[in-house]
Amino acid sequence: MNRRDFLKVSAATGAALIVGEALKGGGEVAYGSIKIPEVEKATITIITDNYFDALRPDYKVATRYKMKPGSSIYNSNLHSEHGLSYYIETVVNGKSHSFMFDYGVDLQGVSRNMELLNIDFKALEALGLSHGHFDHWGALIALLKSQKEKIPKGIPLYVGEEAFNERFIRFPMGIQSLEYLNRGDIESLGLVKIVEIKDPFPIVEGAYSTGKIERVTEYEKVPPIFLIQRGGKQEHDIFIGEQAVVLNVKGKGLVVLSGCAHSGIVNAVKHAQKMTGIEKVHAVLGGFHLIGAKPEIIQRTIGDIKAVAPEYIVPTHCTGFEAISAFAREMPGQFILNTAGTRYLFTA
């Protein structure tokens, strides 16, 4: 082996060791280490997503947004975009709690949707961010500025590692910056307290962040097209700080909510089961990041989700048409087609 080949192998081995170490520690939780409180009721409202259908009927636990009688159709349609934002409410021991998780891209669209959905910024107790891609934080700073009189001062903003690093994507024609969330711009507003988390952590009563998600499946890999700025270099982004949300509905089991699941939706679900010690999964919602995935990866994902046997499966955002169609076809009794403005109600 010549010196150049040796250096290549050494670099690759070192990178693999770094990746392996990065996914240890905070990603390895003891079984049942989190005694997550049971919620009597959990409501997840999709503020914005890639798809909106004004004529979609209510279905099972999904209540669709409906225009108020007498309102103008020109002022009452919801905005959809390549972005994602959730409003989550829990009821624990009769007391309500609420927070936002992810913020979409377009300020006007997200703000208008929140107005039409009667979401009150004053009720928020916390803010959470799944990861550092623009379609999840794009509207955040503008929202904070526009709602500074309503958002409780000092509200915590929970983020994972590397949430503020610049991200890139490698296209055939070259590398494109996906920009970055500027920590300084947030802190200069004097509104929120940024809290970086590595381990499972309560966002509000009855809702936990997963912390760093342990990777246990062999096939859920982050494609090499995703890059991150680290130490002055562009490196493969493995999303070590990506967060999902876990709730425990009394008598029903876990609800697992992802942003994009770059770390793998099956990994996220298995991590939620491990950290809580609860095997029963009531619902899995969110972006599964299977857009552009090979058919065999989609099928393996569906097979593993089938084995978990949730009552409801709700793919959103970056799951991709092919994967959404496959879930609908292979899990028809559990599948719900998501639309922007839908409220999912899970009760004991």
**pLDDT above 80 (res 303):** yes
Contacts of 329 (CB under 8 A, 6+ apart): none
Q: 336: closest CA among 221, 266, 255?
A: 255
Whether the CA torsion 184, 188, 189, 190 is positive or negative: it is positive
What pLDDT digit, counting tens, does each position of 137-156 carry?
Answer: 999 999 999 999 999 999 99
- Rounded to whole angstroms, the maximal C-alpha distance in the chain is 77
Tell me how far apart the alpha carbons of residues 315 and 329 are, in angstroms, rounded to a whole number: 13
Integer CA distances (angstroms), 128 to 132, 155, 220, 297, in order: 11, 10, 24, 29
CATH architecture of 35-347: 4-Layer Sandwich (3.60)
Tell me how far apart the alpha carbons of residues 55 and 69 are, in angstroms, rounded to a whole number: 15
- Note the pLDDT of residue 28: 83
**pLDDT above 80 (res 38):** yes
Average pLDDT over residues 228-252: 97
CB atoms within 10 A of CB 82: 15
Residue 323 dihedral angles phi and psi, to the nearest 5°: -70, -40
Integer CA distances (angstroms), 237 to 176, 262, 308, 312, 337, in order: 14, 10, 28, 30, 30
Secondary element (H or E) of residue 129: none
Contacts of 198 (CB under 8 A, 6+ apart): 25, 26, 160, 161, 211, 212, 241
- Note the pLDDT of residue 143: 97
Contact criterion met (CB below 8 Å) for 263 and 215: yes
The pair of structure tokens assigned to 333 is 């009794």
pTM of this structure: 0.92
The pair of structure tokens assigned to 287 is 């972006």
- Note the pLDDT of residue 16: 37
Contacts of 27 (CB under 8 A, 6+ apart): 211, 212, 213, 214, 215, 240, 271
What pLDDT digit, counting tens, does each position of 190-212 carry?
Answer: 999 999 999 999 999 999 999 99
What pLDDT digit, counting tens, does each position of 91-100 carry?
Answer: 999 999 999 9
The pair of structure tokens assigned to 286 is 């969110």
Average pLDDT over residues 276-298: 98
Secondary element (H or E) of residue 162: none
Domain positions in the chain are 35-347
